[in-house]
Amino acid sequence: MTTTADLPVVVIGAGPAGLAAAAHLVGRGIEPLVLEAGPTAATAVRGWSHVRLFSTWGELTDPAARKLLAPTGWAEPDADTCPTGGDWAGRYLQPLADALGDRVRYDATVTGVSRLGRDRIVDADREQRPFTVRIALAGGGEERILGRAVIDASGTWSTPGPIGADGLPALGEHAASARISYRIPDVKDPAVRARYAGRRTAVIGSGASAFTALAALADVAKEEPGTHSVWILRRGISGSTFGGGSADQLPARGALGLAAKAAVDDGHADAVTGFRTEVIETADDDRLVLVGEDGRRLDPVDEVIVLTGLRPELSFLSELRLALDERLQAPVELAPLIDPNQHSCGTVHPHGHRELSHPEQGVYLVGMKSYGRAPTFLAMTGYEQVRSVTAALAGDAEAADRVELALPETGVCGGPGLFDDPAPAAGDTASGGCCGS
């Protein structure tokens, strides 16, 4: 007879945190089943494969994963170098998924999670019931999978923030969708480069992703006359706007902010501050005009790149009893520790299964998903999360509660970097971090 203890732990998402969770579970003799919506591992990471991270390989690989990969002949990358998203996916995440074998299922989109025979209202016998996970298959079919626990590592990549400062799409945003992108452009792709070369582009956002886009477009501007960016910030520019510079403990992260500053200083981008977009209008020549809440109208642009953060997709968890912070949509015990009004990615207090727990026992949101709308996540935080969570699921309370993590404190947070360039020159500094108030 099959009991709940015989069922797998269902892991949603074959990205960095999900695959690390599976590796830890295997190491503890617990069978995982990883459900990935895409056709390969790390589908979301591949979506920004051209972007270089500001973390090094040594910070981007998980110890349990390395142990699982070792017998396969996997060649561990140089720990001190920074990979691109494509490198991370191809040289680490996909080999890790391959090592897990049929424990990873692709083209399986999770559409709902609940307790077997119990919606979120019913108390009776609830904790003794297994989880039921509904998936939609690429061919159009549906399937139900039972699990002893659920680890949601599905991330936030699929739900970018809109243009509107109130969290809603600006009026006209949907109508102008053909001219709007919510991703960092890969200007090495000829088709993408042609979209922005010789044109005027609005870049909306103030974090590392916006820095990356500004730097990339500035490189295009050096070779393609007429290429120009309009950098739109909802706040003003201060000493902390561009991050930690050469004082950043992650050098590539500091260099990223300095490159964005150079795009402005060199005249490749104009900064518009205190602008909160309310309406997007289409001019007579089909260019876009952004109108602010204060009535300001900007000069027309050809394209808009929106990099206003990401948010968690929670609809498929609606039948579970989750305790989420009303602002960040992160677990209530974790939210005060990651509040971007107070913390940078390096000042987040070490945390594990206790801060990630919910009233619904046996379900955990980990990785980027656990941070909700906070932009301060680093991969090594996720690896420590899943180590603690899997220890708790294995009944190893001592290991689960032993949460230790040292993070680099200075600089900008919440996004990837792009640099092959050497470290910034001494004296090119900025204070603070982008997550501070």
Give the pairing of strands 277-282 and 108-115.
Answer: unpaired
The C-alpha atoms of residue 180 and residue 177 are separated, in whole angstroms, by 5
- Range from 121-130, 343-352, 363-372 carrying the lowest mean pLDDT: 343-352
Average pLDDT on 196-202 reads: 98
Question: Tens digit of pLDDT for each residue in 16-60?
Answer: 999 999 999 999 999 999 999 999 999 999 999 999 988 899 999
Give residue 230's pLDDT band: very low, low, confident or very high (50, 70, 90): very high
Closest to 242 (Cα-Cα) out of 223, 259, 222? 259
- Compute the mean pLDDT over every residue in the chain, rounded to the nearest whole number: 89
C-alpha R_g of the chain: 22
Closest to 150 (Cα-Cα) out of 320, 400, 327, 329? 320
The C-alpha atoms of residue 423 and residue 427 are separated, in whole angstroms, by 12
Would you say residue 344 has pLDDT above 80?
no
Give residue 407's pLDDT band: very low, low, confident or very high (50, 70, 90): low
Would you say residue 352 has pLDDT above 80?
yes
Give residue 242's pLDDT band: very low, low, confident or very high (50, 70, 90): low
* 426 vs 124, higher pLDDT: 124
Average pLDDT on 266-293 reads: 96
Secondary structure E strands in 63-118: 104-105, 108-115
For the CA atoms of 376, 379, 383, 389, the dihedral, rounded to the nearest 10 degrees, stands at 40
The C-alpha atoms of residue 178 and residue 182 are separated, in whole angstroms, by 11
| Entry pTM | 0.89
Task: Count other Cβ atoms within 10 Å, centred on residue 63.
Answer: 13
CB 99 within 8 A of CB 61: no
Collapse the DSSP code of 353 into the 3-class scheme (helix H, G, I; strand E, B; otherwise coil) and give the result: helix
Would you say residue 189 has pLDDT above 90?
yes
- pLDDT at res. 188: 95
Would you say residue 432 has pLDDT above 60?
no
- Range from 141-150, 199-208, 252-261 carrying the lowest mean pLDDT: 252-261
Average pLDDT on 218-240 reads: 89
Would you say residue 431 has pLDDT above 90?
no
Collapse the DSSP code of 204 into the 3-class scheme (helix H, G, I; strand E, B; otherwise coil) and give the result: strand
Give residue 258's pLDDT band: very low, low, confident or very high (50, 70, 90): confident
Average pLDDT on 366-381 reads: 92
The C-alpha atoms of residue 228 and residue 186 are separated, in whole angstroms, by 16
- pLDDT at res. 2: 54
